[in-house]
Amino acid sequence: MAHLDGKTAVITGGGTGIGLAIAKRLAADGAHCVLMGRNLERLQEKAAGIDRARAERCDVTDPDSVRKAFAAARETRPVSILVNNAGIASSAPFHRMSEDEFLRIQDVNVTGVFRCTRAVTDDLRAADYGRVINISSIAGLSGGPYISHYCASKHAVIGMTRALAAEWAKTQTTVNAICPGYVRTEMAEGAIRTIIEKTGATRDQAIAELAKSNPQGRLLEVEEVAEIAGWLCHPDSRSVNGQAIALNGGHSM
């Protein structure tokens, strides 16, 4: 019997990239996965290819949308696993960054994590097994030029992770963050396009620029992040709590 049999896992941003890879990984371990995101058609298409998976539209910036999506997710059983993966990024020098853009990033990357976690708090506090996995970034562990708003959001996610892990330490639910470097996703593609547009670099040169932050000299694959998420969901990982796990090929922060 798979160790996640009978457990419901919600994955926000579940239709692409890291979120989709995590959904596939948890489903392979027996979980009933609920893929959440704004594009319902894409979510339904991806869920159709995963055993025991279904889709729910959810805009993490809309409290009513979050409430409805999570009510639907727990129709048959409480939520045991929450993967807060939904996130956005942009870049701008600080002196040109608008307040609206700063707040837009925080609303998705920080307040969205709060809203979704709050939606399953009662389930997880009473559960005999629970996991919250927040997808942060190496930008949550260090700074970087032109992404001060993104760095702020990912630092906040790690702070929330550590605080909630301490608060819930006497329960059966753990709360951890995964902090990848650049992963081969749509978000990385956006960064690659920006480098090309602003510097005139070739695609290979732009990828190499991103890969410089990894001593292994490469972009990560989504399956590598999913493997850590799967490990954190294993019952034998219950002592791992309040951690910000860096996936960066050994880069020293």
Q: How far apart are CA 85 and CA 52, in angstroms?
A: 20
Residues in the chain: 253
Confirm whether 150 is a catalytic residue. yes
Q: Which of 129, 146, 150, 182 is catalytic?
A: 150
DSSP letters of the chain? --TTTT-EEEEETTTSHHHHHHHHHHHHTT-EEEEEES-HHHHHHHHTTSTTEEEEE--TT-HHHHHHHHHHHTSSS-EEEEEE---------GGG--HHHHHHHHIIIIIHHHHHHHHHHHHHHH-SSEEEEEE--GGGTS--TT-HHHHHHHHHHHHHHHHHHHHTTTSSEEEEEEEESSBSSHHHHHHHHHHHHHH---HHHHHHHHHTTSTT-SPBPHHHHHHHHHHHHSGGGTT--S-EEEESTT---
Catalytic residues: 150
